[in-house]
Amino acid sequence: MGYGYVGKILLVDLTISEILVEKPAEEFYRQYLGGPGIGLYYLLKNSRHNIDPQGPYNTMVFAPGLLTGTNAPSVPRYTVLAKSPLTGALGKSEAGGWWGPELKRAGFDAIVIKGRAPRPVYLWIKDGEAEIKDASHLWGLETGETQETIRRELGDDKIQVAQIGPAGENMVRYANLCNNLAHFNGRNGLGAVMGSKKLKAIAVRGKRPVEVKDRAVVTDVLRWVARQSKIHPLSAALHEHGTPMGIAGNNAGGVLPTNNWDTGFFNQAADIGAEKLNEKYLVKRGGCFSCPIMCKRVVEVKDDELTVDRKYGGPEYEALAVLGSNCGIANLKLLLKANELCNRYGLDTITLGMSISFAMKCYEEGIIDKTQTEDIELRFGNEKCLLPLIEKIARRDGIGDILADGTKAAAAKFGRKSEQFLLEVKGQEVPMHDPRVKSGVGFQYALAVNGADHWFAQHDPFFTSVDSLGVKATSSIGLGEPVDAEDLGHRKVRQVLYTSYLNGVYDMLGVCVFGYVARSITPLNKLLTTVTAVTGWETTWWELLKAGERFLAMAKEYNACQGLTIADDRLPEKFHTPIRGGPQDGKPGLDREKFNEAVKLFYEMAGWDAGTSRPRAAKLYELGLDWLVDKKRLKNF
Amino acid sequence: MVRINLHSILKEYCPNKDGCVLIEYKEDLTVKKVLEVLNLNEIAGLALVNGKVVKTDFNVNENDSIELFPIFGGG
């Protein structure tokens, strides 16, 4: 029995209905911590090369963070990992809510799932025991009904359910997972992997608290965060307005993606922002296990036209932008309904919105027409097409079947040079942040191991001046010098590298970026105090950042085994061309050559070989990953 | 005078409910100095002067109009 970690990993083989328990030693947890550290260990130990993402050899791991389930503040998260059917690279997505903590309380640090069930099943884990149960009566149900049915048939309304909706069952390549109907492992199509395994849900119930070494110290940190969260502007803003606050600012700055990124200024941005949301439809501010920030939106609509059920939570900035301005749609009520459908069917809002906007662009350009869209007028701003399209995509019906594979596959089917309208990296569509004003975000999109991702590292605006919160907060790990938001040089590369290690550690610990620096309030020294108080380890930020580096190296190795190379670490062409329209009209794109040189520099700094796109042997040895060194290729060691 | 409009959560830092502040123009007034006067240099993320996006070293002139938005990332 450990502190923070439990000491047990559940191994499930769905093909032969076998369940085993592995009990790693403490050293294992000190190396891999939790979350994607543990996840990649099992992914790499099981099968590695050129896996079929929808086949039985695509090992899938659910791993809460090392601190998840303790009373530490804002650490509710768990990571789900497998090969992504959307990108063909590592799929890795975190979610908050309550499922991760419950799994730890039920007695497991992770679940490793292999094979494929012969018919729909769900996993039931309770107080250290696990069984595979029939789910044929659940197959086809939306997320709300599934959760309700499972809780009812197992006789406990406190059961936490991680599940896929109909979109995952239909293997939509960007199907997501959810817990508590409003917390999502959103990106990379991990819901489709679960669907391919005929695994509908994992139900968990655990009554044993997660043990910590020094509870009083952890409680102290929790109290500090609870007090500060109401005072500090970053956390207060997250609570008051949530991420939708980004709509107004990004629009004013001319970087709110509009009409498939044709421009960055949307005339009706005020109609879809936080102020409107708060005024008309917000009914509650929700949160996650042990988090005082409570940044989640809970919305409700009840009128003759539309109803939106509050149990499905509410939209983030990404959903409002990608389905709103990015599709030319200004009807907030409709966007809330669209968000609800995504949550009921289990669809990643970002790839969904980008797939719709891409189809709209192709339609506007005459590349596709009504005969291919079942008469739906796919024009920017056409509100009538939004909900029917989401239904079609979730069910893989008609045009929905094409769009269900994402924009890259759709472009291959549409042909006629439609690929010029793509905005994806490694096959995953970019989120709603424009790299032309934040080069670090551009590096994140290009370098993130799981495709275009806006939390691979930290965001540039927090590091641009000596007064910046990020600069002050991370000076202790060597980032005390400000770097210009559009810098493409070595200082920016270092900033992205170090903050990618930091974010890696965050994921391995179960930390939510909305509770910790630089995006929010809890400083690094308090997190270190918490790790020591939970585990009893006399650890340091050196050791923790090395763990983050370890995760990154493992991810890189995994991707190389799937055939990815440095050529995949590039930006869509749009971001090398000027911004069009709005207050920053004409602002140049990121210099292509400098950007690509910087990517190469990142590899060198990280200790990765650009020729093989894998970590060098020396780096693997340094990180204690000797088991990943391909001795057949080595000459000198 | 220089007129500053505060948006979103920055309004909480405004003495007036409408989010509008007037400060006196001085020579060599930069956006950075404006932020310091208003105690917003940590949390302002975007500045527009007369409708144009500017960096903090931008020189503000008499009768200029400034819009300030909070820092934002992710979500």
How many CB atoms lie under 10 A from the CB of residue A589?
18
| pLDDT tens digits for range A607-625 | 999 999 999 999 999 999 9
Instruction: Report the distance separating Cα A352 and Cα A406, nearest Å.
Output: 8
Q: What is the pLDDT of residues A451-460, one digit of tens each?
A: 999 999 999 9
Q: With the C-alpha atoms ordered A357, A361, A362, A363, is the resulting torsion angle positive or negative?
A: positive
Residues A530, A544 contacting (CB under 8 angstroms): no
CA distance B74 to A431: 9
Let me know: does A428 contact A86? Beta carbons within 8 Å: yes
pTM for the whole thing?
0.97
For the stretch A231-290, pLDDT in tens is 999 999 999 999 999 999 999 999 999 999 999 999 999 999 999 999 999 999 999 999
Distance of CA A334 to the CA centre of its chain: 24
| Number of C-beta neighbours around residue A507 at 10 A | 27
The vertex-A188 CA angle with A183 and A189, nearest 5°, equals 80
Per-residue pLDDT at A579 exceeds 70: yes
Closest listed residue to residue A581, CA positions, set A278, A254, A324, A325: A254
**Mean pLDDT over each residue of chain A, to the nearest integer:** 97
Spatial separation of the C-alpha atoms in residues A325 and B36, rounded to whole Å: 34
- Within 8 A of A265 by CB-CB distance, chain B residues are none
B39 has a chain A CB within 8 A of its CB: no
- CA–CA separation, A146 and A144 (whole Å): 5
Question: Per the CB < 8 Å rule, is A249 touching B51?
Answer: no
- Give the gap in angstroms from C-alpha B24 to the nearest C-alpha of chain A: 23
Task: Give the dihedral sign, CA B33/B34/B37/B40.
Answer: negative
Best residue in B8, B34, B52 for a mutation probing chain A (most A CBs within 10 Å): B8
Interior angle at CA A394, CA A388 and CA A397, nearest 5 = 70
Q: CA–CA separation, A419 vs A409, rounded Å?
A: 10
In Å, how far are A239, A285, A306, A393, B3 from A297, measured between CA atoms?
Answer: 9, 5, 18, 25, 33
ipTM above 0.85, yes or no: yes
**In this model, does residue A636 exceed pLDDT 80?**
no
Residue with tokens 């302002």: B44
Say how far apart CA A253 and CA A244 lie, in whole Å.
Answer: 15
Tell me if B73 and A462 make a contact (CB, 8 A cut-off): yes
Of the candidates A459, A467, A583, which has its C-beta nearest B73's C-beta? A459
Instruction: Tell me the pLDDT band of A34, cut-offs 50, 70 and 90.
Output: very high
Cβ <8 Å between B73 and A469:
no
Asked if residue A584 has pLDDT above 70, the reply is: yes
pLDDT at B16: 82
Contact B8 A248 (CB under 8 A): yes
The confidence score (pLDDT) of residue A202 equals: 98
Name the token pair of A584: 């920053």
Give the pLDDT of residue A627: 95
Chain A residues whose CB is inside 8 A of the B45 CB are 249, 461
Residues of chain A with Cβ-Cβ distance to B54 below 8 Å are none
The nearest alpha carbon in chain A to B10 belongs to A233
A386 has a pLDDT exceeding 70: yes
Instruction: Say whether residue B7 is in contact with chain A using an 8 A CB cutoff.
Output: yes
- Comparing CA positions, the residue from A23, A205, A252, A235 lying closest to residue A106 is A205
Q: Is the CB of A469 less than 8 angstroms away from the CB of B70?
A: no
Task: Please determine, for residue B14, whether its predicted confidence score (pLDDT) is greater than 90.
Answer: no
Q: How far is B68 from chain A (nearest CA, A)?
A: 9
Separation between Cα atoms, residue A581 and residue A536, nearest integer Å: 55
Is A465 in Cβ contact with B41 (below 8 Å)? yes
Assign A205 to helix, strand or coil: strand
What pLDDT is recorded for position A633? 57
**Does the distance separating the beta carbons of B70 and A455 come in below 8 Å?**
no
pLDDT tens per residue, range A427-449: 999 999 999 999 999 999 999 99
Predicted confidence (pLDDT) at residue A637 exceeds the cutoff of 60: no
Structure confidence at residue A632 (pLDDT):
61
